[in-house]
Every structure is written in structure tokens, then in C-alpha cells.
Structure 1
Amino acid sequence: MSGYWSGILAILAINVIFAYGIFIPAAAGQLNLGGAGFMAIGAYAAAMLGEALGWTPAETIPAAVAITGCVGIAIAFPVLRTRGVYMVLATFAFAQVVTGVILTQPALGGAMGLVVPDYVGLDALLGAAAGATLLVFWLMASRFGLALRALHDDELVSTIMGVPARAMQVASFAIGAGLAGLAGGLYAHHFSFVEAQYFNPLLSIYVLLFVLIGGTQTAWGPLVGASFFTIVPELLRVGGSWRYVAFGAIIVAMMILRPEGIVTRTALARLSGRRADG
């Protein structure tokens, strides 16, 4: 395999994990536009632990997941008091605060960034992406996933039926933050460098598009969405600068023709020959 396509696969693996980090809260009806902030925390946590304590990736990456998960729990309580566009704005503001803190702290490298000592190869990235995918599929097939889908469809009715709404929402937010932190830690160790400018608002918007275009109804959606947004632009490179026009047109067409996303429960039921639930 060429180095070019190895790089694309590495980015795809990170994007898949990152997309699942946004999908889990989205499955409960929470739109998170602060994904870049959680990914930045995971990346810088891994970088700092590796540099300051000499930890290996086998230690820094799980620690980064734990740290971002704890931050997710802390952020979830105030954020979940908001609804709709206010939740989106609150999570967006969180990501901006994280970037601002990194840029103003010399210990974090400021605008110059940090060099990450240990390297994680493509095999580890693909294995982590596969593990995250299996984890999310298992979660969504469990009672936890059923509760998230119920909250997404109707929070009030779900609460009346005994679903602990706040606990499920906080848990989904924390799990999503941990997955975003995993993506950040892997990014830091694979590319051996982190800088705050990478974790910009466009990154949060892109990963949310991965989920929304792929579909929030099933765990297949983020996988398809991340693959689409990572691979299709590369295939369109032959068109030069026109590839941006073509890719934009494809996205607009998909939003018109498939507003619920590429993958839905109905579509999967038709493929498997079963009747869709609900």
C-alpha cells in the first residue's frame, strides 16, 4: 500500500472514532458542536503525559480517554440544561474556550504546538477504530441504546415510562467525550505533533456532518458518513479545484434527497427483509 493511501486510512480510522464520539450523544437527541474541544483535550493530555511523565501510548491514550470522559461529565450538567440551538451554542463555546486556553498557556506549547514523543502506527489506529465501532454497535443494541433512542424520539414519554433521562444523557455525553479523546490521543501519537489551530470550529462542524449525513438512527450512520467525507474528496481530486464544487453539490443533493441521513432503520430493514421498528 502506498504511503498516500496509508495516510488516508489513518485519517479515516481517526474520523470514524471521532464520529462515534458525536453520534452517541446525538442518538439521545443532543447535538454536540464541541467535538474539537474534546479531541483537543485528548490530544494534549496524551502529548503532555508522554512528554512530562515519559508514559508510553499504551498508558497515555487510556489516560486521555479517562480525562476527556471526566470533562464530559463535568460539562454535561450545565450543557444539558439547554435545549436545541442553545445546546449547540453552549458546546461550540466550550470548544472555543478549550482552544483559547491552549493558545494562552506556554506549558501547552501555545500557538507553536507540542511534539509528541512516541509514534502509533496504522495497525493500532485501525484496531482502535474497529474496537470503537464494535463497542458502539454493542451499546446501541443494548438496553442503554434502546433508552437513548427513546429519549431521542420523545424525552417526556420516555421519562414517564421510567427511563432515567438525565443519567442516560450524562452517560452518553461522557462516553462520546471519551471517544473523542481517544481520537485525539491517537491523532497526537500518529502525527507526532499537536497544535491548537487544528482543533478549530470547522473540525467540529465536519464531524457533526459525518454523523448527520451518515444518519443518527443506527450505528452504521457515522461509519458511512466518516467514510464518505474522508474518501470521496480524495477520489474527486482528479477534478482539480472543481472537486469542491462537485463535493458541495453532492452534499446538498443528499440533504435534499436523504434529510434523515444515508443509513436509516427503514433502509436496513429493507435490506435484511425485516419490517422496521417504529
Structure 2
Amino acid sequence: MSGYLESQIVILCLSIIYAYGIFLPAASGQLNLGAAGFITLGAYASGWFNLSDGFGLSLYASIALSMLFTGAISFMIAFPILRTRGVYMVLATFAFAEVVSGLTINMEFLGAAAGMPVDAHVPVTGLVIAAIAVILFGFYFMSTRLGLALRSIHDDESVSILFGVNVRLAKVAAFTVGGMLMGLGGALYGHHYNYIEAQAFHVLLSIYILLYVLLGGTQTAWGPLVGAIFFTVVPELIRNLAIEIGSSWLADSRFIFFGGFIVLMMVIRPEGVVTRTMQDRIGSMFTGGRSKKPGKAE
């Protein structure tokens, strides 16, 4: 495998993990712009747990503890953040990410602005396995009672309350589990590249990850997968096309076309590429347009 292809696979796997971390709260209508903060927490926590100068734990123990640590932080901040709605929640989560970035840059035992080396290494195969596991978990999570509750909250919160859904508990759970997944992504980032610096987890990363989910769609578990693949693969395909035809202008301007396409998609299909209606139609194609009714055999 070439170094270029391996690097693209690594970026894709990490993007998928990040996207599902944002997708879970977004499934209930929570727009989280603090992805970079949770990723930073996971990366630094796992690196510190694994360092011989830190706790000196094994690779798997360090990753697991970093997920628990990130989940605990997510749980604690969920209660004040989830009191906000809409753009105010976006600003609150963005502020959280900026606070985390500012703290890590000024902590000397974490290497401050110079960054921190990480001991144990996770190969690309480990990232692929983790990404597949997160995808399967995302589909399973959305099929549970909690996942169905998140869907109902997204559609109509007032009706969900009338049907006995504990809206606050469901949102906190989704926010916490999403934070744990982003912590996992951060830990894998640090252990793959064996070095962490806070500047790598900037606000543009948070924006990109949120766009993965919004463009792919928040109605089904296919959304973040489609969005992450699109954002990772399409710009590289345009760049390779520019190299093939020898157009340096296209290579330099590919993000202009890419950005224009995203704006067009948001105007034409604001609910995202993959919707429940599309999923049901595709499913009916494989079942011949028939659906089983409870209590009746075909």
C-alpha cells in the first residue's frame, strides 16, 4: 500500500469516527460545534495515560480510560449546555472547544504549545477496525429505544414528551456517548501519529465534522458515513483529476467548486443526502415493495 493511500485511509477512518460522535446528539436536533475540544481531550488523555512519565498504562487501557474521561467531561457539561438551543448551543459548544484548546496550550506537563509525544502506536489496520466498529455501533444505537427516542425528539419534542420520553435524559445520554466516540477518535489520532499538538484541533475541524453530518443527513445512521466519505474522497478525486489533465488551476481551485457544491446541496436538500424516506424506498426495492404486517404471515 502506498503512503498516499494509507494516509487517505487514516483520514477517512478518523473522519468517520468523529462524524458519528457529532451525529448521535445531532439525531435529536443538537448542533455541536465543539468536536475539536472532545478530540483534544481524548488525544491528550490517552497520551498521558500511556506515557511512561504519566501513568504508564497499556495502549488499550489508555484508550478506554480516555473515552471514559471524555465521556465524564461530556456528561458534566451536557447539563448547562443543553439548556441552550439553536445558535446558542452552537456558540456554547464552540466556546467549550476554545477553552479546552487554551488550557492545553498553557499546560507545561502536556508540552504546552510545543505538543506532546505519544509512546504506543496504532497501525492503519487498527484504525480501520475501530471505524467499522463505530459504524456498526452507530446503526445499533439508532435502533435501540434511546435511538428511537432521539428520532422522535428531532421530529417533535413536544409530542415526545406527551408520549413519556424523558427528553433531557435522552439528550444527555446522546451528548455523552457522542463525546466518548470523539474521545476515541482523538486517542487513535495521537497513537497513530505518535505526536499531539493542540493547534491540530482547530475550529475548522469542528466545522468540517459538523458539515459531514449535516450534508450526509441526521435522520439515519447512513448520514455521517456518507458525509465523511464525500468530504474525504471528493476533494482528492478532483485533485487527482487536475493532475491527470495537467491543470494546476483546477488543483488550486478545487475547494471553490467543492464549496459551491456544498452550498447548492444545502439549498436543494437541506435535510441531507440520506433521509428516512430514501432509506425506506431503497429498502422496498430489495423487498419488492412489500412490508410485513405484525401478526400476519406471508
The answer for the alignment partner of 1:47 in structure 2 is 47
**Corresponding position: 1:269 with 2:280:** yes
**1:162 alignment partner, SS class:** coil
The answer for the alignment partner of 2:227 in structure 1 is 225
User: Are the equivalent residues in 2 in contact too, given 1:18–1:183 (CA < 8 A)?
Assistant: yes
Distance 2:173 2:217 in 1: 21
1:177-213 Cα deviation digits (max 9, x unpaired): 0000000000000011110101111111000000000
1:67-112 Cα deviation digits (max 9, x unpaired): 0001110010000111111111100000000000001111111110
Distance 1:59 1:231 in 2: 32
The answer for the alignment partner of 1:74 in structure 2 is 76
Q: Unaligned regions of 5+ residues in structure 2, if any?
A: 243-249, 292-298
The answer for the alignment partner of 1:152 in structure 2 is 154
With over 3 angstroms needed to count, the CA separation of the structure-2 counterparts of 1:17 and 1:41, relative to structure 1, is: same
User: Are the equivalent residues in 2 in contact too, given 1:66–1:178 (CA < 8 A)?
Assistant: yes
State the shift of 1:275 in Å. 8.9
The answer for the alignment partner of 1:255 in structure 2 is 266
**2:164 alignment partner, SS class:** coil
The answer for the alignment partner of 1:29 in structure 2 is 29
1:147-192 Cα deviation digits (max 9, x unpaired): 0001111112111210011111110000000000000000000011
Amino acid at match of 2:232: T
Distance 2:197 2:290 in 1: 48
State the shift of 1:53 in Å. 1.9
Aligned residue pairs total: 276
**2:30 alignment partner, SS class:** coil
With over 3 angstroms needed to count, the CA separation of the structure-2 counterparts of 1:43 and 1:275, relative to structure 1, is: farther
**Corresponding position: 1:95 with 2:97:** yes
State the shift of 1:257 in Å. 2.1
The answer for the alignment partner of 2:296 in structure 1 is none
State the shift of 1:256 in Å. 2.0
Distance 1:157 1:265 in 2: 19
Amino acid at match of 1:142: T
- Could you tell me the TM-score, scaled by structure 1's length? 0.97
Distance 2:134 2:169 in 1: 22
The answer for the alignment partner of 1:176 in structure 2 is 178
User: Are the equivalent residues in 2 in contact too, given 1:29–1:151 (CA < 8 A)?
Assistant: yes
Amino acid at match of 2:230: F
Task: Flag the structure with larger Rg.
Answer: 2
Distance 1:23 1:275 in 2: 30
Percent identity, aligned pairs only? Answer: 53
What are the residue-to-residue correspondences of 1:188-267 with 2, within 5 Å?
A: 188-237=190-239, 238=242, 239-267=250-278
Distance 1:275 1:186 in 2: 43
